[in-house]
A and B are shown apart, each in its own frame.
Chain A
Amino acid sequence: MTDPMMASEAALAEPAAKEQTARPRRRTSYLGKRLGFYLLVTWVAVTLNFFIPRLMPGDPATVMIAQITQRTGQPPNPATVESIRLLFGSPDQSLITQYWGYLGQLIHGDLGLSISQYPVPVADLVMSALPWTLMLVGSATALAFVIGVGLGILVGWRPGRGLDSVVTPLSTVVGVVPYFWVALLAVWIFAVKLRWAPVSGGYAPDATPGFNLPFMASALGYGALPVATIVFSAFGGWVFGQRNMMVTTLSEDYVLLARAKGLPGWTVMLRYAARNALLPSVTNFALAIGGLVGGSLLTEIVFSYPGMGFLLFDAVSNRDYPTMQAVFLLITLTVLLANFLADSLYVLLDPRTREAS
């Protein structure tokens, strides 16, 4: 969430919401439409994944086969060669044929074999890394959103007052500090100097991964600092966006009427102003998840955290193309899932998206 355009966008999301209210269009189902959109994004991601290695200079497939031969001392068997050709391009087949073969292989869940850890299937590597990233990014995102939006509501309720003049500039400055640099500083201060947290890793070396208390406790302890750094870097954008939405919402008649009704300040702020000002933030939240997940790749690398980011970093360093492709695909799917959750939240919060009678 290092996008300084966020604020202006949040301000713009509001007239769009008004458009909706003015003309209650007949909509089949809001979520159904979104689902269709996500299918489109999935298709684009899959297709990009197909074309990127084929558009690159050189022939990644040949390079890979050579790599495997070098690593194992013998050429890979014909089935593996065919799979590599399907995923990364073959000089003998037309692009269309290749594309269909590629889709077929993906549908069967075959992501190929890792090059750097040959012959471990990429799917296995990805599946063991995914839960770590989900936990890390999930908890960090939720925390950053709650803290950022909460602060934004408070600050935007009384714009120009003391809290606003401190929090708002601070939150925007935080957004332009490089993510990984913050993480490095945090490691230096909290892990090296103060020794409050471990320097790197996802869990204590003596714990056995699984559903047991020592492991989960150590995972929590190891995760605290990475989560804190993501929250620190991400919350500022929410503060700013939510603040501006609050300021805009405060001039709405329904907020004025709530005040005229003599309702206590908290009720007016939360039930009338914030409930409405929250809607664009939820939309922006959905849009920002992609950026957050991308940013967390860096955090994982700083902390050697055993998630997708670290896996991707490893794969890129070792030119392990199958793993690179699979990680990107999985990250995209995760982002889309998170988007869908945000959309569902939006439907819960805004009655106008539900079927009108």
Chain B
Amino acid sequence: MVLRFLSGWKVRAGLTVFLLFCLLALLGPWFCSSVLHISPTALDVDSVSTPPSAGHLLGTTASGQDVLAQLITGARQSMIAGLVASVLGTSIAVLVGVTAGLAGGVVDSVLTALTNVFLTMPAFALIFVISGYTQGGGPVVIGIIIGIFGWAGGTRALRSQTLSLRNRDFVVAMRMLGESRVRLALVEVLPHLIGWISAMFLGGFVGGVLAEAGLAFLGLSSASTVSWGSMISEAQQGNALLGGMWWWFAPPGLCIALLGASVTLVNFGIDEISNPRLRNARRTLVRRARQAAVKGADSDE
């Protein structure tokens, strides 16, 4: 299954880009200071608001900071927020979804209602309000808030998957044998949900990065850290738009989009495996086979 998963070009391309970003988040700051010898915070007063040049590969901000350095170091903050949000959100979703699906009855009804409540509430507005109270939190705090209020998205999917698993023969058999529910969940159900859970995790990751960027854009992240969102925020405040300083506000958005696209590609691959109905027959094969019949009919006449 792993081999089949890795065979598609979408999954390969997506994974490659995603791992590159992970590497960037891990080694970015060291790479900046030791290899490129640039700093995200140093002010180059001689070149303020300059377009890309040999000295500053991606130009400088209105206060003379190097955009490339900010972009590389910003990866870590954005991805930490995404990771925290996703780990927390996916854990809650798995706990709630699988429990609801396995337990059934009143527990299921309560958990489903809870999921729907969180799903219906404007989560971003709520996150915004809470961040308003905790102003200036780092990426971890922001990730936690996003995770706590953004888990509901995939829970319904997990619940209905668990529900359908619960009624499969092998799980029914295990239940008859008196297997404990926790063991059942861990050994029999979770492995079958791996596809869904990893898709959810990746989706939550992008959601977390996007939400962090949104909050940073609103000025709700800590002022001392640079993230892609805070870069866009500063660019807007620094009138990068009116001044046409595309090198300032375009790269961080592109990075987020690229990261998101890579994850979507991986999710396509997962979806094709876990949802075979969406796979369609190879059209060229069908057409070729069809032509044979039509030609045969012509020659018979």
Asked if A pairs with B, the answer is: yes
- Say whether B278 faces chain A, with CB atoms less than 8 Å apart: yes
Minimum CB–CB distance for B194 against chain A, Å: 14
- How far is B267's CA from A38's CA once the two chains are assembled, in angstroms? 33
Q: For residue B220, which residue of chain A has the nearest CB?
A: A316
Cα of A63 to Cα of B58 in the assembled complex, Å: 43
B280 & A41 in contact (Cβ 8 Å cutoff): no
Interface residues of A in 317-337 (CB under 8 A from B): 317, 319, 321, 324-325, 327-328, 331-332, 335-336
Q: Which residues of B contact A38 (CB under 8 A)?
A: 120
Give chain B's interface residues, CB within 8 Å of chain A: 113, 116-117, 119-126, 128-135, 153-154, 156-157, 160-161, 164, 196, 199-200, 202-203, 206-207, 210, 213-214, 217-220, 229, 232, 235-236, 241-242, 244, 246, 249-250, 252-253, 256-257, 259-261, 263-264, 267-268, 271, 274-275, 277-278, 280, 283
* Chain B residue with Cβ nearest A301: B218
A4 touches B122 (CB 8 A): no
Bound together, the chains give a CA A251 to CA B280 distance in angstroms of 11
Determine if A298 and B214 form an interchain contact, defined as CB atoms under 8 angstroms apart: yes
Contact B244 A192 (CB under 8 A): yes
29 contacts between A and B (CB under 8 A): A2-B207, A3-B207, A4-B263, A5-B154, A8-B157, A8-B271, A12-B156, A15-B160, A41-B120, A41-B121, A53-B133, A159-B280, A173-B261, A173-B264, A177-B257, A180-B232, A185-B250, A188-B249, A192-B242, A248-B277, A287-B119, A298-B214, A321-B133, A324-B129, A325-B129, A328-B126, A331-B122, A335-B122, A339-B120
> Chain A 157-171 against B: per-residue CB contact (8 Å), 1 yes, 0 no?
001110000000000
- Give CA–CA (A294, B211) in the complex, Å: 10
Given contacts A4-B263, A40-B113, A52-B133, contact A335 B120 (CB under 8 A): yes
**Contact mask for chain A residues 282-305; partner B; CB cutoff 8 A; 1 contact, 0 none:** 000011001101110110011000
Report chain A residues within 8 Å CB of B206: 2, 4, 176
Docked Cα-Cα span, A48 to B249, in Å, equals 36
- Cβ A178 vs Cβ B256 within 8 A: yes
Please determine whether B232 and A184 come into contact, CB atoms closer than 8 angstroms. yes
Proximity bits, A37-49, B CB within 8 Å = 1, else 0: 1101100110010
B199 near A315 (CB under 8 angstroms)?
A: no
**Closest Cβ neighbor of A43 among chain B residues:** B117
Q: A294-B124, A313-B218 are in contact. Are A5 and B271 (CB under 8 A)?
A: no
- Write the chain B residue with the least CB distance to A49: B129
